[in-house]
Structure 1
Amino acid sequence: MKFTIKTEGLHCGHCDAAVESALLNVEHVTDADADHETNVVVAECDEVVAPEDLIAAVEGAGEGFKVVDIQVA
């Protein structure tokens, strides 16, 4: 299962790395790719993961990070 997460607040590579690391700490997330230039994060999961868990990880990764939209890709 793959999620596309539109965000606000990612400004640099360090932001990307923080979000990717936070998502990889969510159980069943197998890959995460954040792009601060487009403010889009793609998370891949090997089992069903609640979108709320992904939102919490992104928003908890740094002050000012916000999820605008999350969709199953």
Structure 2
Amino acid sequence: MNYIIKTEGLMCGHCDASVETALFNVAGVTDAEADHETQTVTVECSDAVSPDQLTAAVEAAGEKFHALTVEEV
């Protein structure tokens, strides 16, 4: 499955890397690419990964990071 996560709080490449690392720690995530310029994260994962898991991972990456929406694409 592929998701686009709309975020807020990503300010730089370091922020992007923090969110990507947190998402890769979710079992079943095979790719994650954050972009602070567009405030989006593109995620590829298995069907077993829920949007709630992705939201939790983004928000666990740092107190300033928030997942506003998680949309399947």
Task: Give TM-score scaled by structure 2 length.
Answer: 0.96
Supply the distance in 2 between the matched residues of 1:7 and 1:64 (Cα, whole angstroms): 10
Q: Which residue of 1 aligns with 2:70?
A: 70
Q: How many residues align?
A: 73
Q: Which residue of 1 aligns with 2:12?
A: 12
Gaps of 5+ in 1: none
Supply the distance in 2 between the matched residues of 1:13 and 1:53 (Cα, whole angstroms): 23
Gaps of 5+ in 2: none
**What is the CA-CA distance between 1:33 and the residue it aligns to?**
0.1
**What is the CA-CA distance between 1:58 and the residue it aligns to?**
0.2
Q: Which residue of 2 aligns with 1:45?
A: 45
Give the counterpart letter for 1:64 in structure 2.
K
Could you list the structure 1 runs, at least 4 aligned residues long, displaced by more than 2 angstroms after superposition: none
Q: CA RMSD in A?
A: 0.7
Task: Give TM-score scaled by structure 1 length.
Answer: 0.96
